[in-house]
Structure 1
């Protein structure tokens, strides 16, 4: 949240008026995974999602994630039953019903579970946008779950909770 505070302070120092709102975006997603087995991304996950949030309305999201087994590329690291991910190839674009976009970067982990959906945890940072969100800044946490129907396909829900100023 240090980055968010610094960006907000900069906007206030230049005399710009900021609107801040609590961000609670709930997305239903589908994901297809392609294993590369090599650094820097053990797997690439292509994700599409739809959802809604106050101040945004209905939204759509498309993303590609770089996915690695936790510790996979660390020499001598023990194997784990969890994965780390980050968005790949630039910021993710969250497109609202009006066509305005928010730009987001994120990272987190997926912890595999035998007795139910896999658990997702992480953080996100808002890095700008288009239209009314052209100078947006913010950030927060990610939480959710994913069922992997097959090794290469999954469905789930993720919730991004935080604050955005624009």
Structure 2
């Protein structure tokens, strides 16, 4: 019985702290742009319906969140010469330790210059995060370019983000 009372008191205290921290914050929706360089490694991926996917790593910069690193992956369906990217997921880590969770999809189409491809119809959605971005949401367009022979490329997310910002 005493453990139940202590758990109830702890849960109530935690709820009050959460409410107080949100009361000291304001829900903001602002533009966001994240640009960076990426390295994608494609290969077998059991999580994908096609059993083929990519692992993406990179780093970038943003006026809103500052310098950041990201890691993620996607599923790839080859419809040569176009590659469809689906079930994409990125974790963007800020230098402050906050994380933003992103999903994405789009197509990679050839530029006509060797193995160079660009994104077509790329979109992203912000689906949460940690700390400052715990309940973040938003989305926008995904622009990218990649040399499929090396996996090296660039990434640009342009859109809006909504989150609880400190007052």
Is residue 120 from structure 1 mapped to residue 119 from structure 2 by the alignment?
Answer: yes
Q: Out of 59, 69, 78, which is 2:78 matched to? A: 69
Distance 1:133 1:25 in 2: 15
Please, what is the CA RMSD of the aligned residues? 2.2
Q: Out of 97, 116, 120, which is 2:95 matched to? A: 97
Q: How does 1:120-159 map to 2 (within 5 A)?
A: 120-121=119-120, 122-149=122-149, 153-159=150-156
Cα displacement string for residues 14-37 of structure 1 (whole angstroms, at most 9, x for unaligned residues): x9831122111002000111157x
Distance 2:152 2:27 in 1: 36
Instruction: Give the CA deviation at 1:132.
Output: 0.7
Q: Secondary structure at the match of 1:17?
A: strand
Instruction: Give the CA deviation at 1:86.
Output: 2.0
2:83 matched to which residue of 1?
83
Moved beyond 4 Å, runs of 4+: none
Q: Secondary structure at the match of 2:27?
A: coil
Distance 1:155 1:87 in 2: 20
Instruction: Give the CA deviation at 1:92.
Output: 2.2
Unaligned residue ranges in structure 1 (runs of 5+)? 1-14, 71-79
Distance 2:28 2:49 in 1: 38
**Greater CA deviation, 105-114 or 40-49?**
40-49
Instruction: Give the CA deviation at 1:120.
Output: 1.1
Cα displacement string for residues 14-70 of structure 1 (whole angstroms, at most 9, x for unaligned residues): x9831122111002000111157xx71252211101001112111111112100024
TM-score (norm: length of structure 1): 0.75
* Residues 60 and 102 of structure 1, relative CA distance in 2, 3 Å threshold: same
Structure number with larger C-alpha Rg: 2
2:27 matched to which residue of 1?
18
Unaligned residue ranges in structure 2 (runs of 5+)? 1-22
